[in-house]
Amino acid sequence: MNDRKRYERIAFVASAADDARAALEALVARYGDAPQAEADVVVALGGDGMMLQTLHETMGRRMPIYGMNRGSVGFLMNEYIEDGLVERLAAAERTVIHPLTMRARDREGRVHVAKAINEVALWRQSYQAAKFRIEVDGKSRMAELICDGVLVATPAGSTAYNLSAHGPLLPLASPLLAMTPISPFRPRRWRGALLPDRAAVAIDVIEDDKRPVAAVADNTEFRNIRRVEIALDRKTDLVMLHDPGHGLDERILAEQFGW
């Protein structure tokens, strides 16, 4: 007897790409389209951006998300196949991840809060390099970092912007966060740090009036920031479904060997 959960009430969402919209039409005609409030699972059609958007939109509901690639990269997605979707969902492996919470204080003293599934990044807003002071768990760790920016990535996000910035790839189950500088100038050879995922990170912007900085949590941006506090939100579970043998752990491992 199959003891896997069956997801029969399926809600579909799709990006604006032509391939994604065509897939949406074909799958809804074949499997129906349940309202999200009544669905067992959401199937997201598009690329990794669509997966992140869907996870953000369903955050706090523990709604399983199964992505099918109708975009470009599709690192977080499964292969697009129209046949046997209900059976694929029943056989899928669950991955539970947690987002970061970013609290950013701007020049006027306003506090902005946002969640990040991949990373929180601080960027220079002008032609001048940014200057940062970094604290971890209330202790000063770097008095001055001069760079274009700095980011803190989750294991799930370590394959995204963090990897492009030459940060480390983290196994999904590792209790770590990656702190990675973006085009560092001083200290010139600082490559970043691996932090325990229980760490509380605070980054102050030095000379923020002269060297303005924006803070970004995934795709949510705030400008003219003076201080950012970052911590993992363990109370929020995000559930992704992947075909057997094609989960994020396997993809992260394969990426390190030139897949």
Binding positions for NAD(+): 48-49, 118-119, 148, 156, 159-164
Binding-site annotation, residues:
48-49, 118-119, 148, 156, 159-164
Provide the CB-side half-sphere exposure for 109 (13 A, CA). 0
Phi-psi bin for 46: left (phi > 0), alpha (psi -120 to 50), beta? left
Per the residue annotation, which of 3, 18, 40, 48 is the catalytic one? 48
Identity (one letter) of the amino acid at 82?
E
Identity (one letter) of the amino acid at 175?
P
CA 190/CA 180 separation, integer angstroms: 9
CA 244/CA 240 separation, integer angstroms: 12
For the beta carbon of residue 240, count every other beta carbon within 10 angstroms: 25
For the beta carbon of residue 13, count every other beta carbon within 10 angstroms: 20
**Residue 209 bears catalytic tag:** no
- Report, as residue numbers or ranges, the catalytic residues: 48
